[in-house]
Amino acid sequence: MGQDSAAEARARRIWERDAPRYDGWMRRFDRYMLRDGRSWLCSRARGRVLEVAIGTGLNLPHYPKDTDLTGVDLSPAMLDRARARAADLGLRVPLVEASATRLPFPDASFDTVVCALGLCCIPDDRAAVAEMCRVLGAGGTLLLIDHVVSHRGTVRMAQRLLDPLTVACAGDHQLRRPLHLVRAAGLTVVRRERYGLGMIERLAAVKAAG
């Protein structure tokens, strides 16, 4: 098994283990840290939409009505909960088990790609951003929100201390910054906001037309 495959297998085991507790954790995180982040993200989705690392489907209630949405996640247990949530909401959403670094879709398949709190835990975040860009059509929008390394010195110091523990226990990286990967991939950032002591960043970026 290659290094990337081993890392993804470990990530899948973590999410299979944590799926039953995930929504409880996120209720607290959303209240105190993410705040309106999910609605900010999903309200901007247009056309054919792909959500990468859809998890248990916590974003589903926040999409505009009749959004043409497809979701992918690495964990079958997380997808089972997303399917149940979609059914409760009366939504028909194709949900696919897939790696964020090997999305099973042709180039330029979507008008919007969304990822919420996923790049902090995907083993190869650079490859995941590259895949999101690949399946995004010309002129399409990439929408991200994640916890990131803070620009505040004392907070960043605490994150550096926590990072080895959270990576070892949950595969959760405290020191990443997706903004840099998005810019390196050639997308144009059109909106960006940072809050929550500098630890939450949300952004919209556009792929060049043609």
- For 17-38, the DSSP string reads HHHHHHHHHHHHHIIIIITTHH
160 and 148 Cβ atoms separated by less than 8 Å: no
Helix (H, G, I), strand (E, B) or coil at 51: strand
Tell me, what DSSP letter sits at residue 44? T
Quote the pLDDT of residue 5. Answer: 84
**Does the structure show a pLDDT above 50 at 201?**
yes
Taking Cα atoms as reference points, which of 136, 133, 119, 131 lies closest to residue 177? 119
Helix (H, G, I), strand (E, B) or coil at 151: coil
| 3-state helix vs strand vs coil in the chain, percent to 5 | 45, 25, 35
User: Phi and psi of 69, rounded to 5°?
Assistant: -110, 140
42 and 62 Cβ atoms separated by less than 8 Å: yes
Q: Which two tokens stand for residue 102?
A: 């090997």
- pLDDT tens digits along 180-198: 999 999 999 999 999 999 9
Distance in angstroms (rounded) separating the CA atoms of residues 140 and 144 = 13
Quote the pLDDT of residue 4. Answer: 63
Taking Cα atoms as reference points, which of 194, 196, 154, 150 lies closest to residue 175? 150
Tell me, what DSSP letter sits at residue 24? H
State the average pLDDT over residues 151-177: 97
- Does this model's pTM top 0.85? My answer is yes
Tell me, what DSSP letter sits at residue 62? G
The HSE-up count of residue 181 (CA atoms within 13 Å, CB side) is 19
Q: What is the mean pLDDT of the chain?
A: 96
| 115: confidence class by pLDDT, cuts 50, 70, 90 | very high
**Does the structure show a pLDDT above 90 at 210?**
no
Distance in angstroms (rounded) separating the CA atoms of residues 86 and 69 = 11
